Amino acid sequence: MILEFLNKHLLDVEKPSRYIGGEYNQVLKDPGKVKLRFVLAFPDVYEIGMSNLGLMILYRVLNKMEEVWCERTFLPWKDMYDLMKQKKIPLFTLESKTFVKNCDVVGISLQYELSYTNVLHLLDLAQIPIRSFERRESDPLVIAGGPCTLNPEVMAEVFDAMVIGEGEEVIRQIANVLIEMKGASRFEKLKALSQLEGLYVPMFYEPTIPPKPKYDWVYPKIFKRTVQDLNEHILDEFRIVPHCQTVHDRIVVEIMRGCNRGCRFCQAGIFYRPVREKFKAETVDEAMKALFCTGYEELALLSLSTADHSKIVDILTNLNEKLQKLNISLSIPSTRLDAFGVEIAKLITIARRTGLTFAPEAGTQRLRNVINKNVTQEDYLNALKAAKEAGWDRIKLYFMVGLPTETDEDLEGIVEMVNIAKKIGFSKINVSVASFVPKPHTPFQFAKQMDLEYFDHVKKVLSKLKRIASLNIHDPRMSLVEGLLSRGDRKIFNVVFDAFKNGAIFDNWEGMFNFEIWVKAIESSQIDLKMYMSERELYELLPWDHIQVVSKEFLISEYLRALRGEVTPDCRWSYCSGCGICNGALRNILEVTV
């Protein structure tokens, strides 16, 4: 049925290679010889999902289990989605063309809040009931993972279970539990899963703020799962080679996880604590094997702050020697200005030169202190001069607006920083400006989110940059919806569901985002938008307080330090900041508190 549909209609849609599977290094197994059929579902198009390293890691982890077959599926682009709806073709896996609804488990990655309507479309297309309590015994378990689970409440009605934290180890445990409980009821399976650390089963909790257990065998607090040693989880070289160009069309090697710099707006810095490094030998070996096994011509070293790896110079030197001979280019993501030096600039200036990205975030030293971005004007100047001397001619600068305590002087500071880059001699300057969204489990979770009128003012101030740089200001209306979904409770699911029913899809794509749909959904749900956007009391009960990542006392302390303009040094190189993430300290704090 599926093959017949594809043979007939593939040429009717854009990028048919998104839907055919059969890529080099995909995993095929005999369905009669496995005990668990697992589908990793990414709620966006193929080229976005195939660029997600986490998906590839979990794919290899599961498929190394003899009794498990893990396949992939993605949300089809609108043309294929409409065609499948019209022809009544349910969502299917790429590897075996099996209907997703006929598998045992569907794992959905929640990477960004604006994918929530995509999740609903994905389940609807798969013919799986959207709300967990509507599912039958024959339906697959639907499990979420990813950074958005730090506030699981908005999507709690959708998922049977949610993984809080990192998945490499817990996903094996999930698979083993479900294999052992083959034939048991959904309730019994979920009860067993709820006993795993980092597993949240929303239906076992009352929809209070924060949620409270319905049963005495349910944990009142869910602790984030953390992989202790990255060197025990090296991704093998058999990476799937996509049929079409993906967003990140290169080999990506994670060299470090976590960042203790402590930027107070950064949820990723909290989610991935503490810092763990891969050894130099493992990093180089993984990179070279993956390049030889796939044929890519670019390598990217991934972490939140790559230049902070303690052996980064050794790693880059070693790779430089090998990659120059192969004419393979090397890139690193946005790096901190104070960590960038002439030596590193020269080490990554090999083969085809790629763009260089810096993230000053704020335009003045005062505001950088507020957000704990420990970068001085001198750091900025030295980094730009080092990059220019090393041969770079184009750079990208990231800034954020709408930050707590921000003034017009801070906005003018952004203009001045871009002017400095122009004077140093960069011929191509791209400036990307994002709107601040207060995120759960960050010190700024207590801050308010600025309204749309404020961002109209910001645009006027920054418009003068268009004379000297390419300026891209993120749509603040998208940020408003993101903020609502970030800090919402279970009531906000009604907004998401209403937007889904009225056609909201691919909301993270600026050309697809329809703000009017969301305005109507908010109005029909009769929620108080200003309340969700406003500043929170420091000891107010929050919808995500049952999720334990770092100490709430630490977050309160950091927010107060921010308002005083005080910085907190990186705890890797200075004193412990008391977040409670290391060595079970958070558990001890909570036990003493209780």
- Contact by Cβ (8 Å): 110, 146: yes
- Beta carbons within 10 angstroms of residue 567's beta carbon: 15
The tokens describing 216, both together, are 């005495």
Reduced to 3 states (helix: H, G, I; strand: E, B; else coil), residue 241 is strand
Q: What are phi and psi of 196, to 5 degrees?
A: -80, 140
Per-domain residue ranges for the chain? 2-223
- pLDDT at 585 exceeding the cut of 50: no
pLDDT range class, residue 472, cuts 50, 70, 90 = very high
**What is the predicted pLDDT for the residue at 343?**
65
DSSP 91: -
**What is the predicted pLDDT for the residue at 356?**
75
Place of tokens 């899963």: 193
Average pLDDT over residues 45-64: 95
- Beta carbons within 10 angstroms of residue 255's beta carbon: 23
- pLDDT at 115 exceeding the cut of 80: yes
- Beta carbons within 10 angstroms of residue 407's beta carbon: 12
Over residues 151-210, the pLDDT tens digits come to: 999 999 999 999 999 999 999 999 999 999 999 999 999 999 999 999 999 999 999 999
**What is the predicted pLDDT for the residue at 332?**
78
**What is the predicted pLDDT for the residue at 549?**
94
The tokens describing 186, both together, are 């959904």
DSSP 230: G
- pLDDT at 224 exceeding the cut of 90: yes
- pLDDT at 52 exceeding the cut of 80: yes
**What is the predicted pLDDT for the residue at 237?**
87
Q: Point out the least confidently predicted range of 192-196, 379-383, 462-466, 585-589.
A: 585-589
Nearest to 330 by CA among 395, 250, 389: 250
Angle made by CA atoms 186, 188, 194, in degrees to the nearest 5? 100
- pLDDT at 104 exceeding the cut of 90: yes
Name the pTM for this structure: 0.93
Average pLDDT over residues 248-270: 90
- pLDDT at 48 exceeding the cut of 90: yes
pLDDT range class, residue 590, cuts 50, 70, 90 = very low
Over residues 493-507, the pLDDT tens digits come to: 999 999 999 999 999
What string of DSSP letters covers 139-184? SPEEEEESGGGGS-STTTTT-SEEE-B--TTHHHHHHHHHHHTTTS
All residues at 6 or more sequence positions from 519 whose CB lies less than 8 Å from its CB, including other chains: none
**What is the predicted pLDDT for the residue at 351?**
41
Between β-strands 161-163 and 199-200, what pairing exists: parallel, antiparallel or unpaired? Answer: antiparallel
CB hemisphere CA count around 98 (13 angstroms): 21
Q: How far apart are CA 191 and CA 242, in angstroms?
A: 38
Over residues 526-560, the pLDDT tens digits come to: 999 999 999 999 999 999 999 999 999 999 999 99
Nearest to 49 by CA among 27, 84, 77: 77
**What is the predicted pLDDT for the residue at 593?**
37
Average pLDDT over residues 86-101: 97
Instruction: Calculate the CA dihedral of residues 145, 65, 256, 153 and round it to 10 degrees.
Output: 10
Q: Point out the least confidently predicted range of 318-332, 411-425, 454-468, 488-502.
A: 318-332
- Beta carbons within 10 angstroms of residue 153's beta carbon: 27
- pLDDT at 586 exceeding the cut of 90: no
- pLDDT at 306 exceeding the cut of 90: no
Mean of per-residue pLDDT scores for the chain? 92
**What residue type is assigned to position 462 of the chain?**
L
All residues at 6 or more sequence positions from 180 whose CB lies less than 8 Å from its CB, including other chains: none
**What residue type is assigned to position 103 of the chain?**
C
- Contact by Cβ (8 Å): 254, 303: yes
**What is the predicted pLDDT for the residue at 330?**
84
Q: pLDDT over 90 for what percent of the chain?
A: 76
- pLDDT at 338 exceeding the cut of 90: no
Over residues 405-417, the pLDDT tens digits come to: 999 999 999 999 9
Q: Which CATH architecture has domain 2-223?
A: 3-Layer(aba) Sandwich (3.40)
- Beta carbons within 10 angstroms of residue 430's beta carbon: 16
**What is the predicted pLDDT for the residue at 335?**
64
- pLDDT at 354 exceeding the cut of 70: no
For 274-284, b where at least 16 C-beta lie within 10 A, e where not — what string?
bbbbbebebbb
Specify burial of residue 151 (Cβ count, 10 A radius: 0-12, 13-18, 19+). buried
The tokens describing 308, both together, are 């902070």
- pLDDT at 353 exceeding the cut of 80: no
Angle made by CA atoms 421, 426, 428, in degrees to the nearest 5? 110
